Amino acid sequence: MNPDDPLLKILACPLDKGPLHLLTLGDGEAPDSGAEPSAGEALYNPRLHRRYPIVDGIPQLLPSSGEQVTEDEHEELLKRMVP
C-alpha cells in the first residue's frame, strides 16, 4: 500500500472508528494473523495499541484480525509510522 493511497484516508479502525496509520514492519516482525503481510506492511491504531495486517495488498480490518501490541512495541511503532 502506498502512503499517499486515497484508501488510507477512508479506512478506519473497526473498534473505535478512528484513523489508522500505515507502517512498514521490520525483518522478522509479522502480525499474528497466520499469513505473511504484503511487503511487510500493516495499519496501526496508536490509540488502542492495535496493529492490523495487510495481506496480499488487502487490509485485514476485522476486530479479530487486530493484534494488541506491548507498550515497548507501541513506542517503537510510533517512531516508524509513515506520516
pLDDT digits (tens, 9 = 90+) for 12-23: 999 999 999 998
Is the pLDDT confidence value at 45 over 60? Answer: yes
Q: Answer whether 0.85 is exceeded by the pTM.
A: no
**Mean pLDDT of the 32-55 span:** 78
Task: Give the per-residue pLDDT at 36.
Answer: 45
Is it the case that residue 31 has pLDDT exceeding 60?
no
Q: What is the pLDDT of residue 24?
A: 76
The cell numbers describing 68, all together, are 494488541
Residue 81 DSSP SS3: strand
3-state class (DSSP) for residue 30: coil
Query: How many angstroms separate the CA atoms of 12 and 8, rounded?
Result: 8
Average pLDDT on 38-49 reads: 86
Checking if the pLDDT of 72 tops 70, the result is yes
